């Protein structure tokens, strides 16, 4: 394997783009929490002069997630997993960019509520979509039966939450994934580094969570993250392997 300097990750991806004929061409950047998706996405956006939309910007508001918590499963009050995003809004934003200026959703994580949308010029030839689970495929039923961590064991003992989330990947999210023209996967060396990366991210941003709270929080993401680490290199068009310091290895 040939090491790639960290600042060259965006250039490595840019050199391997295969733009298609659809407008906008949607480049997807997937990877675990803290893997550097946003940094790479914004570096590419600066290079190509195109907008960025994060999957995080599509989070449902608190009231909608509370309804899911009451009608489907209490764990859905916490944003993050498939089913807690407005996929329709994402598809609508992409469609709008094909024809003219568009309002891109933006989410205010400090308030845990959607923020004011951002007006971006259009039509756009390219859009960068970044998100932790972009392209994730549903798991087989047999894989869902055994809890992967204490969160699933204690708060989802019958598997209802994880099966509902899995169904979202097979349904609404598949339509958004289908609109991605080229998917890049930033592959972490293993799930064990994800909490450390996320803790570093929380400290650097001045976030409110303690280290232990972050470690509990990433349990919501563990099942799909592990599934992607095992299989996403087969789904993605490009895979960029990372070491524990996030240094890319091409």
Count of CB atoms situated within 10 Å of the CB of 136: 23
- Could you tell me if residue 162 is inside a domain? yes
Q: Which sign, positive or negative, has the C-alpha torsion 115, 49, 249, 181?
A: positive
pLDDT in tens, 171-214: 999 999 999 999 999 999 999 999 999 998 888 877 888 889 99
Nearest to 122 by CA among 151, 96, 85: 96
- Could you tell me if residue 1 is inside a domain? no
- Could you tell me if residue 21 is inside a domain? yes
- Could you tell me if residue 79 is inside a domain? yes
Which pLDDT belongs to residue 7? 52
Which pLDDT belongs to residue 162? 98
- In percent, the amount of the chain with pLDDT more than 90 equals 83
201 Cβ contact partners less than 8 Å away, ≥ 6 residues apart? 33, 34, 207
pLDDT in tens, 11-46: 889 999 988 788 999 999 999 999 999 999 999 999
Number of structural domains, the chain?
1
- Could you tell me if residue 188 is inside a domain? yes
CA distance from start to end of the chain: 6
- Could you tell me if residue 215 is inside a domain? yes
- Could you tell me if residue 182 is inside a domain? yes
The band of 3, judged by pLDDT with boundaries at 50, 70 and 90, is low
* Distance in angstroms (rounded) separating the CA atoms of residues 160 and 47: 44
- Could you tell me if residue 38 is inside a domain? yes
Domain limits for position 112 = 6-249
- Alpha carbon 81 to its chain centroid, in Å, reads 9
pLDDT at 47 over 90: yes
- 125 versus 5: the higher-pLDDT residue is 125
- In percent, the amount of the chain with pLDDT more than 70 equals 97
CATH number, domain with residue 117:
3.40.50.300
Which pLDDT belongs to residue 2? 55
Nearest to 89 by CA among 103, 68, 108, 72: 103
């Amino acid at each position: 394997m040939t090491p790639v300097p960290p600042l060259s990750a965006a250039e490595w991806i840019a050199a391997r783009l295969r733009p298609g004929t659809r407008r906008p061409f949607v480049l997807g950047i997937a990877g675990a929490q803290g893997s550097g998706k946003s940094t790479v996405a914004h570096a590419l956006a600066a290079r190509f002069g195109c907008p960025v939309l994060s999957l995080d910007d599509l989070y449902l508001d608190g009231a909608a997630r509370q309804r899911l918590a009451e009608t489907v499963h209490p764990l859905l009050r916490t944003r993050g997993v498939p089913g807690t995003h407005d996929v329709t809004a994402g598809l609508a934003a992409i469609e709008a960019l094909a024809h003219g200026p568009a309002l891109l959703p933006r989410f205010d994580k400090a308030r845990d509520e959607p923020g004011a949308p951002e007006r971006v010029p259009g039509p756009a030839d390219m859009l960068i979509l970044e998100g932790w689970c972009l392209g994730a495929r549903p798991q087989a039923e047999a894989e869902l039966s055994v809890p992967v961590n204490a969160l699933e064991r204690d708060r989802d003992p019958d598997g209802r939450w994880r099966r509902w989330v899995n169904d979202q990947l097979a349904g609404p999210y598949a339509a958004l994934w289908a609109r991605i023209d080229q998917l890049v996967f930033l592959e972490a060396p293993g799930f064990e580094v994800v909490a450390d990366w996320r803790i570093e991210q929380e400290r650097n941003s001045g976030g409110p969570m303690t280290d232990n709270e972050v470690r509990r929080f990433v349990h919501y993401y563990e099942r799909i993250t592990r599934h992607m680490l095992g299989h996403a290199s087969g789904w993605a068009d490009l895979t960029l392997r990372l070491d524990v310091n996030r240094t890319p290895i091409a």
